[in-house]
């Protein structure tokens, strides 16, 4: 029997999915499990997007353009213009989710052995994509004590070697909920310029900014237009995770021509998803305003509840719909499993994501969890009550 690839052996199993059998087993016992472990919103996909798919006019579902349906890319130009991002339809490649867009970007920018710097904690799959592309992630530490702000320049400079070819950020941030300021982005620009790096900016949570804060895109940065790669997705924006439509965007023509070769090899992105994505842009501001209001209320429940628990704390998230909370626990992997396997409060429990999975430095995040506030306020309250009760009786409680 031939060997499995070394690359495949290095691929991490998802830290969240390991817990799925325990969640299933809790449900089999008749328990309500609140899923705060994944970024699957409960918000309806816009009716206009679903309707467009239902009115699909063709008798043959043909390949679309490898770069994406032209009318979709044309309409995206208008969407970005509303966000003061000037792009042309040629500067956009449609992918099967942001996931594929990130792979296009990594494969076009980096070779095996190259290094990219990512502030940790970071979205766990960045590491998987990096392994897929054969590149090395060099994490730099962003701390809960500063609310997960961008680490100082000195930390970047310590991590940068002659193999470093890029920096990747997620803004607003998954898992921390942090929203990078204009000043932080400008700091990044200086580093990117000084070391001539690619800056991959994952901005899929652009619309999810609270307290009146405005999102500052990496596309605004002057002087590094050829270095910036924007990653985007409709999954969260329109609560349409399953349609698998994301975007790789860059003003760097040579890079886009290269990425297009990867896109052409896989022929085309999903047709129905593109139809839905194009129509979804017709939703009015009221869709986003209503959602933001809803998420804001959920956010406040989490923030207030966590900080009211003895020994627990979290910063007020400024964007996305996640927060990383510090809990008085010995080991978040054990704790999250225990919640599903051994705990119940009024026949309910809660599923969280151990933050260890979001750090690439071993040992970090052991007393932290990521909470996705994707359930309605009433359920968020119930799940926070569960968590509070759980912390009172968890055998591995510390402090």
How far apart are the C-alpha atoms of 108 and 93, rounded to whole Å? Answer: 13
The first and second tokens of residue 74, run together, are 């044309």
Are 137 and 116 in contact by the 8 Å Cβ rule? The answer is yes
- 157: enclosing H helix or E strand: helix 153-159
Question: Which residues in the 209-228 window bind its own copies by CB under 8 A?
Answer: 226-227
Q: Which of 37, 64, 360, 379 binds its own copies (CB under 8 A)?
A: 64
State the binding string over 358-387 for its own copies (x if CB under 8 A, else -): ------------------------------
Residue of 31, 32, 43, 288 that binds its own copies (CB under 8 A): 43
Q: Residue 352's closest CA among 35, 12, 18?
A: 35
Minimum distance from residue 392 beta carbon to its own copies (Å) = 33
Residue ranges in 307-346 that form contacts with its own copies under rule CB under 8 A: none
Q: Applying CB under 8 A, which of residues 24, 254, 285, 289 lies at the interface with its own copies? A: 254
Please state the closest distance from residue 397 (CB atom) to its own copies, in A: 31
Q: Which of 7, 27, 29, 376 binds its own copies (CB under 8 A)?
A: 7
Distance CA 276, CA 282 (A): 10
As a whole number of angstroms, the distance between CA 202 and CA 129 comes to 13
Cα separation, 24 vs 36, in Å, equals 15
Give CA separation, 225 vs 82, 217, 229, 334, in Å.
Answer: 19, 12, 9, 45
Interacting positions 255-294 with its own copies (CB under 8 A) = 255, 258-259, 261-262, 264-273, 276
Among 73, 76, 85, 100, indicate the residue that binds its own copies (CB under 8 A).
100
The residues near 337 (Cβ < 8 Å, ≥ 6 apart) are: 19, 22
CB of 389 to its own copies, least distance (A): 29
Contact between 327 and 399 (Cβ < 8 Å): no
| Among the listed residues 28, 30, 78, 112, the single contact to its own copies using CB under 8 A | 112
9, exposed or middle or buried, with CB in 10 Å at 0-12, 13-18, 19+? exposed
Q: Which is nearer to its own copies, 71 or 307 (CB)?
A: 71
Contacts of its own copies in 121-140 (CB under 8 A): 125, 128-129, 132, 134
Element (DSSP H or E) covering residue 136: strand 136-141
Contact call for residue 354 and its own copies (CB under 8 A): no
Number of residues that bind its own copies (CB under 8 A): 80
Ranges within 148-207 binding its own copies (CB under 8 A): 165-166, 196-198
Q: Which is nearer to its own copies, 45 or 383 (CB)?
A: 45
Interface residue with its own copies, options 31, 32, 48, 53 (CB under 8 A) = 53
SS3 content of the chain, % helix, strand, coil (to 5): 45, 15, 40
Judged by CB under 8 A, the residue of 25, 40, 71, 88 near its own copies is: 40
């Amino acid at each position: 029997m031939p060997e499995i690839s070394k690359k495949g052996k290095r691929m991490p199993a998802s830290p969240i999915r390991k817990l799925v059998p325990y969640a299933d087993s809790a449900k089999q016992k008749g328990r309500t499990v609140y899923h705060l472990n994944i970024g699957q919103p409960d918000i309806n996909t816009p009716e206009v997007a679903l309707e467009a798919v239902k009115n699909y006019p063709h008798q043959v579902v043909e390949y679309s353009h490898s770069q994406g349906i032209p009318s979709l890319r044309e309409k995206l130009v208008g969407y970005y213009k509303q966000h003061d991002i000037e792009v042309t339809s040629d500067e956009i490649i449609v992918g099967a989710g942001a996931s594929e867009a990130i792979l296009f970007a990594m494969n076009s920018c980096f070779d095996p052995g190259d290094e990219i710097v990512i502030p940790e904690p970071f979205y766990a799959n960045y590491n998987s994509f990096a392994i897929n592309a054969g590149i090395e992630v060099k994490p730099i530490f962003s701390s809960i004590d500063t609310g997960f702000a961008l680490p100082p320049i000195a930390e970047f400079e310590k991590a940068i070697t002659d193999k470093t070819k890029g920096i990747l950020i997620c803004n607003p941030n998954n898992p921390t909920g942090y929203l990078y300021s204009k000043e932080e982005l400008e700091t990044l620009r200086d580093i990117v310029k000084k070391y001539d790096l690619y800056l991959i900016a994952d901005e899929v949570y652009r619309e999810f900014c609270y307290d009146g804060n405005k999102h500052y895109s990496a596309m605004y940065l002057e002087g590094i237009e050829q270095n910036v790669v924007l990653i985007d997705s409709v999954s969260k924006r329109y609560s349409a995770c399953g349609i698998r439509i994301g975007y790789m965007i860059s003003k760097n023509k040579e890079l886009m021509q290269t990425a297009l070769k990867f896109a052409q090899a896989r022929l085309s992105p999903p047709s129905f998803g593109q139809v839905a994505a194009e129509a979804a842009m017709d939703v009015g501001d009221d869709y986003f305003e209503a959602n933001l209001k809803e998420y804001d209320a959920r956010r406040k429940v989490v923030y207030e509840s966590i900080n009211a628990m003895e020994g627990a704390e979290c910063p007020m998230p400024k964007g996305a719909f996640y927060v990383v909370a510090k809990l008085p626990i010995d080991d978040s992997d054990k704790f999250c499993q225990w919640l599903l396997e051994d705990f119940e409060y009024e026949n309910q429990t809660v599923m969280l994501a151990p933050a260890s999975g979001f750090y690439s430095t071993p040992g970090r995040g052991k007393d932290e969890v990521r909470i996705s506030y994707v359930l309605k306020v009433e359920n968020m309250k119930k799940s926070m009550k569960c968590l509070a009760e759980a912390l009172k009786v968890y055998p591995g409680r510390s402090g």
